[in-house]
Structure 1
Amino acid sequence: MRISVIGAGNMGGALAKGWVKAMRDGADLDITVTARTQQSLDRIKADFPELHCTLDNKTAVAEAEIVVLAVKPWMAKTVIDEIASEGRLDGKIFISVAANILPEDLKAMLPGSTAQILYVMPNIAAEYCQSMTFISPADDVPAETVKTVERLLSLLGKTQVCDLKTLAAGNMLAGCGIAYVMRFIHAMMQGGVELGLYPANAQQIAQQTMTGAVAVLQESGLHPEAAIDKVTTPGGLTIRGLNELEHSGMTSAVIRCLKAGMK
């Protein structure tokens, strides 16, 4: 499968790197990535020599079966005008990860094109094949194309095909939420340092604790509160800490944090 990623920034780079790792595990992919500067391409090529790198967006698109638009939203129209000229996108699967550039916007930028358009929201964990990715196809995209894209993105973690409303909510939990989880880990680190741990040790402990909590929920299928009950002894240390979090409004703060991005 020949894929061209237009843009080697944080998101485009994460997708390209994740797919290379999938290739190293046996996935049959051929990945081209583009950037505005040779320096950007040299940086990504140094650690991922399997990538084809070019400054020429038009050539990259012409040779691809799947085109991934991974540029800043304000650059989308200019880049689409460039890569869609002379019908280069016709018949191809066109995936956009440009935030808030929805399928209807993409169609308006591609009048008369036969490209199969999908709006996709992964997160930066795609680089490590642990993304939570949401897929929202345009109404006229065939089911087989959606399955193809789902299989491709499943190489980078978990996927969910959904409508735009669900995608927007899911993106707050996953795309933005990955930063909120990192902020919680950082808060645990700060607390650990105050308790006498060195920062690097506190980070290692906090990260493994987060990994362990996720593993418990995934492997057991327990609701979080049921799992919490397993480590909450009456009158013990855990319940004291949990109550302090609630006295400080943790649950309300998290809900408000997620809703803030939907306004």
Structure 2
Amino acid sequence: MKVHIIGGGNLGVAIALGIAKFSQNNQVTITRRNTASILYLEKSGITVSADNTHQIVDADVIILTIKPYQVDVVLNEILPLISNKTIASAVSGLDIETLQNKIGDANHAVRIMPNIAAQFGESATCIAFHDKNKNAAQNVISLFQDLGTAPIIDEKLMDAATVLGACGTAYALRYIRASMQAGIEIGFDSQTALAIAAQTVKGAAQMLLEEKVHPEQLIDRVTTPQGCTIVGLNEMEHNGFSSSLIKGIKTSLKQIKG
């Protein structure tokens, strides 16, 4: 499969690298007006171009990782050259119906919300599409299943998916940073504290993904009566740990919805 990514920012680059590493037999092209900062991708077998239309006629899937204000300009460039293409948009706020109207019935609109962990094969990429594009969407689903998980969701939840899955990366990293800082306070050097905090989060997430149980069931395994875990958890909750995280997620969603 030939994948054409328009937009060589952080997300586009992460997807390109993920495909090159984890998705076998797929060819990737990525475009950006100023290619100087992404030429290193060529070492991974990725084609880099300043021309959005470079080899686009051969593409099976076109992925848009651009800003909302760039959409019309980009589509005006590429639409005269393409037909019967699957266009997967990671553009925030661009709904499927609007995109479909812009690209015409000759092409197929799919909406995606990956995150930068795609580079490591660990993205949670939410995907939405209309039933008429179900067959066309299969290539997109398969592609992002290689880069992590690819749940299919109702489009009305896509803004929420952006907050939980994309913004959520920053939230998780902020937890790790705080845990690292605490580790330094209790005696570790910064590198050791970071290594322990990051691996602990990775291990906890892996347990959840593999066992498919509620987090509290796993928490119960590491909390003992009058132990150090439960008193730490209670202290965090007294200071608003869960409520502040929930409020932060809801505030981010309000920002997206305007």
TM-score (norm 1): 0.91
- Displacement of 1:162: 1.3
Q: What is the match of residue 28 of structure 1?
A: 25
SS of the equivalent of 2:54 reads helix
Instruction: Indicate whether 1:230 and 2:221 are aligned.
Output: yes
- Displacement of 1:217: 2.1
Cα 1:230/1:73, change in 2 over 3 Å = same
Instruction: Indicate whether 1:189 and 2:184 are aligned.
Output: no
Return the letter of the residue paired with 1:15. Answer: I
Cα 1:100/1:63, change in 2 over 3 Å = same
Cα 1:146/1:38, change in 2 over 3 Å = closer
- Displacement of 1:69: 1.0
Instruction: Indicate whether 1:79 and 2:74 are aligned.
Output: yes
Retained in 1: the 8 A contact 2:99–2:109?
A: yes
State how far apart, in whole Å, the 1-side matches of 2:89 and 2:54 are.
18
SS of the equivalent of 1:147 reads helix
Match of 1:57 among 52, 56, 59: 52
SS of the equivalent of 1:59 reads coil
Q: What is the match of residue 6 of structure 2?
A: 6
Return the letter of the residue paired with 2:234. Answer: N
For structure 1, list consecutive stretches of 5 or more residues without a partner in the other structure. Answer: none
Post-superposition Cα deviations, 1:44-97, rounded to whole Å, max 9, x if no partner, equal 224x1x11222221233222121111112221121111111x2x2321011111
- Displacement of 1:148: 2.2
State how far apart, in whole Å, the 1-side matches of 2:108 and 2:246 are.
36
Question: How many equivalent pairs are there?
Answer: 254
Return the letter of the residue paired with 1:126. Answer: A
- Displacement of 1:171: 2.2
Structure 1, 190-199 or 53-62: larger mean CA deviation: 53-62
State how far apart, in whole Å, the 1-side matches of 2:212 and 2:144 are.
24
Taking the TM superposition and a 5 Å limit, the aligned residue runs for 1:166-181 are: 166-181=157-172
Cα 1:45/1:164, change in 2 over 3 Å = same
State how far apart, in whole Å, the 2-side matches of 1:206 and 1:126 are.
21
Post-superposition Cα deviations, 1:108-131, rounded to whole Å, max 9, x if no partner, equal 433x44110011000000010100
Cα 1:22/1:252, change in 2 over 3 Å = same
State how far apart, in whole Å, the 2-side matches of 1:113 and 1:219 are.
41
Retained in 2: the 8 A contact 1:81–1:109?
A: no
SS of the equivalent of 1:140 reads helix
Structure 1, 113-122 or 101-110: larger mean CA deviation: 101-110
State how far apart, in whole Å, the 2-side matches of 1:67 and 1:217 are.
33
State how far apart, in whole Å, the 2-side matches of 1:218 and 1:136 are.
22
Retained in 2: the 8 A contact 1:89–1:113?
A: no
Q: What is the match of residue 34 of structure 2?
A: 37
Retained in 1: the 8 A contact 2:41–2:47?
A: no
SS of the equivalent of 2:14 reads helix
For structure 2, list consecutive stretches of 5 or more residues without a partner in the other structure. Answer: none
